[in-house]
Amino acid sequence: MSIERHEIEKLAMLSRIAISDSTIVEVSQRLGSVLDLVDQLQGVNTEGVQAMSHPMQAIQRLREDEVSELNQREALQKIAPDTEEGLFLVPKVIE
């Protein structure tokens, strides 16, 4: 699968990484090979294969859900820069 130059530039901009003009061709080829592999995997017949959550069918031992620390929310929120209705407010980071 071929990936166009403008698509690589858009991906670089969205992921906030710098890709030089000299490496765009290499990045395009590598991403294309990954997408070709995905196409191969999608073409495999999986009819009759039972889905599993873990390849070893392991069972996870879980501990009892017990409170182990005191609720210190009010004390911690007193020193926080900004809170509202019991929640910590943080600056917006997504444009």
pLDDT band at 95 (very low <50, low <70, confident <90, very high): confident
When the candidates are 1.10.10, 1.10.8, 1.10.20, 1.10.3470, the CATH number that belongs to 5-42 is 1.10.20
pLDDT at 39: 92
Q: What is the mean pLDDT of residues 55-65?
A: 81
Instruction: Judge whether residue 53 has pLDDT over 90.
Output: no
Domain ranges in the chain are: 5-42
Instruction: Judge whether residue 56 has pLDDT over 90.
Output: no
| 56, burial (CB in 10 Å: exposed 0-12, middle 13-18, buried 19+) | exposed
pLDDT in tens, 8-43: 999 999 999 999 988 998 999 999 999 999 999 999
Distance CA 18, CA 16 (A): 7
Say what the pTM is.
Answer: 0.49
